Amino acid sequence: MVYPAASILLKKFFLVISSLTILSSLLAHEFWLSPDKYIYKRGEKINVRFFTGENFEGRNWKGNKENIRSLKLYYGGVEDELSEYISDQPGDSLALKMLDEGTNLIAYNSTDSFIETEASLFQEYLQEKGLMNVIDYRKENNESGSRGREQYQRNAKTLVQIGTKKDNSHSISTVLPVDIIPLTNPYNLKYQDSLKVKIFFLNSPAVNSLVRIWHHFNGKTVKSALTSNEKGEIKFPVSTTGKWMVSMVKMIRLEYDPCAEWQSYWGSLTWGYQ
């Protein structure tokens, strides 16, 4: 038998656990395309998984073909749609082979998903992602105590290198709302060269935005953060080891949506040297 006082404590305990689970799902919201490796020989099988999580320690998505707005491959001046290669099976991955050498760009844009979050957790999430425009708006409009009702979509890119031939596929502008573009081919870098990255949001430079850089090597992930300049650019040194990710979140107000007040866009770019 559970006494009333104990019952109240249990309810509070489960409420805390539930809140922490929601917050964890928000803060572990990074999404990236994860090839089994990044450098391939011609004709070698490429398997790309869709990962969510943090620190390059993710879990495979639960999505399928219905979650795809677009999934494109760019190589050698050619653009191919890949969504037909994803099945209706939850957690399906992308498998393909490339017979031509060169740098290949794969770009994914999801359909929208909805999440509703308790006010304090939403505030913490906004602060963690550097979304000061949303924090300021909510404060100015007396919404800081309101629940967060958000539509979100994912924008993810990965660069894989086939053979030794390098090209300019890395610099292609895609249809992604958050488009993270390296201005130099990462596979042309030498150890500790600096890489400049330009980020576009809805076709305009993403100025004064928090950008995260992730480097995973030898089982460890090193994270850093930079703020984009007036051109929407950041610059950082790259060691040609392990795997790398650049990520960013942007959020805008929805004025006429009956369900959500906010629309967020999660962007990432991955590449690697193994």
Q: Which residues contact 167 (CB under 8 A, 6 or more apart)?
A: 75, 76, 102, 103, 185
pLDDT above 90 (res 239): yes
pLDDT on residue 19: 38
Cβ–Cβ under 8 Å, residues 250 and 201: yes
Packed helices 4-27 and 119-128: angle between N→C axes, nearest 10 degrees: 30
Residues 209, 132: Cα–Cα separation, whole Å: 9
Q: CA 100, 168, 79, 33: dihedral to nearest 10 degrees?
A: 90
pLDDT on residue 190: 94
Residue range 107-121, pLDDT digits in tens: 999 999 999 999 999
pLDDT on residue 27: 47
Residues 257, 155: Cα–Cα separation, whole Å: 21
The pTM assigned to this predicted structure is 0.88
Residue 172, both tokens: 């292609």
Residue range 125-184, pLDDT digits in tens: 999 999 999 999 999 999 999 999 999 999 999 999 999 999 999 999 998 999 999 999
Sequence length of the chain is: 274
pLDDT on residue 243: 96
pLDDT on residue 33: 97
Residue 209: pLDDT band with limits 50, 70, 90 = very high
Residue 264, both tokens: 């967020």
Residue 63: pLDDT band with limits 50, 70, 90 = confident
pLDDT above 70 (res 26): no
Query: How confident is the model over 33-48, as a mean pLDDT?
Result: 96
